[in-house]
Amino acid sequence: MARNTMIITLLLFLSSYVHSSNSHETWIRAGYWDSVSELPVSDINSALFTHLVCGFSNINYSTYQIHINSSKEPHFSTFTGTVRVKNPSVKTLLSISARREGLPTFSSMIKQSSYRKSFIESSIYTERIYGFDGLDLSVGPSISINMTNLGTLFDEWRVAIASDSKKSGKSQLLLVMSASYLPAQHPVTYPIDIIKRTLDWIHLIAYDYHVPAEFDFTGAHAALYGPSNWVNTDEWIKEWLRGGLSASKLVLGLPYHGYAWTLVNPNENAIGAPSSGPGVTSDGSMGYKNIKSFIKGYGYGAAAVYNSTYVMKLFVVGSTWINFDDVESIKAKISYAKENNLSGYSVFQLSNDDNWILSRAGRLLVKISIFHFILFILMKHWTRDVSIDFE
């Protein structure tokens, strides 16, 4: 009788879990929406995510305050309310770009106390007025960024966020950084000790390692593993851990895009083969759904091949060489994140998905792992009780 009661209880729990809402899970499933994409905010399947990031705001070069293009402002101001129609519990973050053309302004801002104060106050005000739950600073590694000043910014930002929460009576804003790969031998390193106490987590930009506009040979742009001479995510994560950061502070970035190279010699098409530059598009970048359409255009029999060494898909036809992530590699990377106790994953970007195939694959994988765990417990108790009955 006790055994039957236990089994029924576990089955009821399993059923409720499979149909539970995102609010009952701590595993982060974040997705980036870029305002320049063609995907309307209302079309985002927010039920597949725990966090959605709205990008990108910028930093004004003279006031150092947050700036949002007037033509995009309506999307930012209504973003949170719109995505919560399908998922009331989803958390939203405003992403601030400090990359490429915005890097000089950011570097200048963090040098001076008054500039940092202006930036911090503006970021909190903008987040509150638009109803976001947190802030995501997208900053890449550069020798022009003084990491000591970056650490000071994070310390001051966290103090201001705590003060805002106390005054407003609202929950503290999330504070997150999106970080690009920084080689261990680089002369500057991220301020890990400060990051540990100030940031909620880090979105690892675990892609764009190797792109055709910068290299004259083919390569895996989002390799999970690889030989020691290739940049890969596994080794990068180990660098963070060796530096003293907890795995629970890391969220694995997953690309919904790939890159196409033009081979110098179609018969020489292995990884590392000579390339004359980007293929298919001006910079070689292609969204997942466009890659699928491109492959389908070659007709019956055309298919990409899975490469388990790097964990990616590869499609080669003639002089065109494309590497990307699909359902198989996305699942493998999410499994890696769970096995290594990371806090979750973030995808870039939502508009490149194909009818939410990649996003659903990640969501389903998380649920199935819990299902298997509970099934294991059921079977363990069942076989133990059966053996007792036979005795």
Residue 205, phi then psi, degrees to nearest 5: -80, 80
pLDDT value for 3: 52
- 173: DSSP letter: P
Q: Domain 2-255+325-390 carries which CATH code?
A: 3.20.20.80
**Cβ neighbours for 229, distance < 8 A, ≥ 6 positions apart:** none
The neighbour count for residue 128, using CB atoms within 10 Å, is 13
pLDDT value for 25: 52
Q: Are strands 250-255 and 257-263 parallel, antiparallel or unpaired?
A: unpaired
The pTM for the full model equals 0.88
- Going from the C-alpha of 45 to that of each of 29, 30, 119, 359, the distances in angstroms are 12, 12, 32, 9
**3 state SS of 304:** coil
pLDDT value for 185: 60
Successive 10-residue mean pLDDT values, the chain, 391 residues: 49 42 68 97 98 97 96 96 98 94 92 98 98 94 82 98 97 96 74 96 97 97 92 95 96 98 97 98 98 95 95 98 98 98 98 98 63 46 43 35
pLDDT value for 113: 98
Q: Which two tokens stand for residue 277?
A: 């530059």
Residue 6 CB burial class (10 angstroms; 0-12, 13-18, ≥19) = middle
pLDDT value for 387: 41
**3 state SS of 341:** coil
Write the Ramachandran bin of 55: left for phi over 0, alpha for psi from -120 to 50, otherwise beta: beta
Cis peptide before 349 (omega within 30 of 0): yes
Q: Which two tokens stand for residue 115?
A: 């500039």
- Going from the C-alpha of 201 to that of each of 177, 197, 211, 344, 374, the distances in angstroms are 7, 10, 27, 10, 29
Q: Is the dihedral of CA 33, 338, 179, 282 positive or negative?
A: negative
Q: Which amino acid does the sequence have at 30?
A: A
The continuous run of DSSP H or E covering 324 comes out as: strand 320-324
Radius of gyration of the chain (CA): 23
Cα–Cα dist 138/128, whole Å = 19
Tell me which residue of 391, 263, 378 sits closest to 12, measured CA to CA.
Answer: 378
CA angle 145, 253, 179 (to 5 degrees): 10
The neighbour count for residue 16, using CB atoms within 10 Å, is 10
**3 state SS of 328:** helix
Please state the domain extents for the chain.
Answer: 2-255+325-390
pLDDT value for 371: 46
pLDDT value for 183: 72
